[in-house]
Amino acid sequence: MTLSLLPRPDAREGRDRLEILTALISAPSFDPLFRGDIITIPAGHPVYRWNCLASGCGRPARSGDLCDGHERLWRKRRGEGGPRAGFLQAPPPAGGPGAGTEEHPCRICPERAALHLALRLCQHHLGRWDRYRARHGDDAGFSEWLAGQQPAPGFGCCRVRVCPELAHSPLGLCKRHGVLYRSQGRPGGAALPGEWALRYEKAGKAVPVRYADEPEFRRWCAAAAPAARPGQVNLRGLHPLVRAEFQWCMASGAAVRTGREGLACLQRLAEYARVRALGSLTELSAEDAGLAAETGRQGPQAVRMITGRLALLYVTPEQAREEGYILAGHFGRELPRRSGRTDLSGISQRWLRDLVWDYMAGLLRSPGCPRTAGPFDDMRRAGLELSAFLGLRAPGGGHDPRALTAGHMHQFAADQRQREHDGLVSLGVTGRHGEPSVVTAVTRQAVFNCTRRLLRGALESGEAGRLGLDRGFITSMPAHGPLVTRSRPPFTDEVARALADEENLRKLARDHDPSGNGTREAWETIIATGRRCGEVLNLRLDCLGRYGGLPMLWHDQSKVGNYDEAVRIPDRVWQALKARQRKTLALFQSRNNRPPTADERAAMALFPSPARNRDCSRPLTDTWFHGHFRAWVADLDTGRQVPHQARHTMATSLLRAGATLSHVRRYLGHVSERMSERYIHLAHSDLEDVL
């Protein structure tokens, strides 16, 4: 098995971990729903909802968030053009109750399980009722028949070690395990005599069980998996630490994102851990091929989330530093769309790796911690590049910092420039999927800048002196130098008209956003206000308001730290965004079969992501929007354009209309000095106005 984030704990370490989790699970704030060894999720749970979304339906969801019956009815209704919200509020009947989350006893004999869920009768009494109804026909009264019935003795509990259900017959297996036993070829040959109910049970005699190999049957009962039930996760047979890890992770929402598929994945993951007798879930690796094969495509994702959250409990920052990685959660930080774990183990020189770790820890502790993972990625790249170079060129692989001189730094800088010039691959950095990473002007600049900042910071803190680093080695790291970039100009008149044309906008919505996620409304807002793409996509649902009769848009300029900024918008854009609000509320209604609460509405995004986003709180990503925009522009054949050019166009238009540069800066929320000069040049040129 591939090694995971944490090694298998020894006995003492396992006891310490179990004590930590036991204390957390015993806390009053811990949800008691997750304390048992069989976790039964009620219908309509906000995180692990497993039941059909239709009102009054208790059947498990099979396809999407509807049961099989309601899914068939909805497909027919959708073909007729009916709204989904109305269908969910008043659904037509779709059959019986289906399989529940737990076993129900017979209403007559509580020691036997009900076979018919609607009547709640065991097999014995269901047969008696069928015979009674056959004799009396339409005159058969269920209440009168029920009053004359006597309870029958049960068969005890299912002999499968992890099964909590009642045995279905003298064989000692519940209904589900009886089916499983026959499907697996009846190991041990356990069997009942023919017509045992008439020959033995009716006569009050014990029913004998014949075995071809009884020990084999007992081994099968000890090893058989629990019978799957919707809304239930069976943790019996697991190591106590593994069981506690499941309980804590499920209660904290760290185990899986949401829904029925998540519960099924967790059950498969629990069985995977039980069969392999794991002592901790941290022994699992998301890269293990066997894990994905046995738990499904969600299994590796669940393992990453679980082990990442458990690492915050089991590992101290000092231990993480020793192992060669840093966890943002140790510092109370979260990096957007990242696991929070930055791997530094590729930096082979311990002194260099510790410098990088300490620098990142300082960033995470600082009040001005970066909003994104970019600065951390750049520093990691710089550390990997310098480490790989020193491993090849420095004495002893660069492990002794006292042996490094200014010449080694000069050679490193020259090597980076040469790789940039020739388009060669990096020495120590690979892409996300292991492909070679080519050194470009941008990556070379980041490496120079971060290496210089890292080493000079060590010099100022005195760490360089403690390590014995030569001052010449530090000061020889050159500055990154000017980076020649060509920012895209504002849209030309022809391109601006094409990107704002009504027919082309309809094409954007029809051909490139058929699901109606709001690509057109987002683009119209960008060109009308000049906001950054991320500022528009991250709009909250309640971002509109009229003040003094004027329509205003409230947004966050997070890049420059301005929150709840208001900007005037045209009535046309106002109406489009109001329509988008109604669509988002209808989407929430269709996903949850109820309107949002006040707190849920405050957290909702105006442009919610369509994937695993039941509460509509996660907005569309820049990558998603740019992909659709790029495909649309390619269809229009206007050349290569990017959404940010709309911002340049707005700034230039404002300057040409007489606005001062300070007004433009305030309206757009910061303009770089380089772009300011460019805007002024365009505004005073003889070019025609744009937009």
**Whether the Cβ atoms of residue 456 and residue 473 lie closer than 8 Å to each other:** no
Query: Beta partners for 327?
Result: 341
Say which residues have a Cβ less than 8 Å from residue 568's Cβ, sequence separation at least 6.
Answer: 550, 551, 552, 553
The larger pLDDT score, comparing residue 657 to residue 419, is at: 419
Residue 190, phi then psi, degrees to nearest 5: -70, 135
Instruction: Tell me the three state secondary structure of residue 117.
Output: coil
User: For 389-400, what is the mean pLDDT?
Assistant: 95
Query: Beta partners for 539?
Result: none
Rounded Cα distance between 639 and 38, Å, is 60
Rounded Cα distance between 560 and 667, Å, is 12
pLDDT for the residue numbered 676? 62
Which of 495, 504, 494 shows the shortest CA–CA distance to 645? 495
Here the tokens at position 660 are 């001062």
Handedness of CA 74, 80, 86, 90 (dihedral sign): negative
Residue 92 has pLDDT above 60, yes or no: yes
pLDDT band at 485 (very low <50, low <70, confident <90, very high): low
Inter-CA distances, 562 with 503, 507, 552, 568, Å:
36, 34, 16, 16
**Whether the Cβ atoms of residue 355 and residue 463 lie closer than 8 Å to each other:** yes
**Whether the Cβ atoms of residue 343 and residue 324 lie closer than 8 Å to each other:** yes
Residue 446, phi then psi, degrees to nearest 5: -65, -40
Instruction: Tell me the three state secondary structure of residue 547.
Output: strand
Q: Above pLDDT 70, what percent of the chain?
A: 92
Residue 257 has pLDDT above 60, yes or no: no
Burial of residue 85 (number of CB atoms within 10 Å: 0-12, 13-18, 19+) = middle
Query: Beta partners for 332?
Result: none
Angle among Cα 110, 111, 116 to the nearest 5 degrees reads 65
370-392: b (≥16 Cβ within 10 Å) or e? eeebebbbbbbbbbbbbbbbbbe
Q: Average per-residue pLDDT in the chain?
A: 87
pLDDT for the residue numbered 91? 67
User: For 51-56, what is the mean pLDDT?
Assistant: 85
Say which residues have a Cβ less than 8 Å from residue 131's Cβ, sequence separation at least 6.
Answer: none
pLDDT for the residue numbered 396? 93
User: For 45-50, what is the mean pLDDT?
Assistant: 86
Least confident of 144-158, 181-195, 259-273, 496-510: 259-273
Rounded Cα distance between 94 and 91, Å, is 8
Rounded Cα distance between 436 and 416, Å, is 15
Could you give the residue ranges of the DSSP H alpha helices within 190-258? 196, 214-223, 240-252
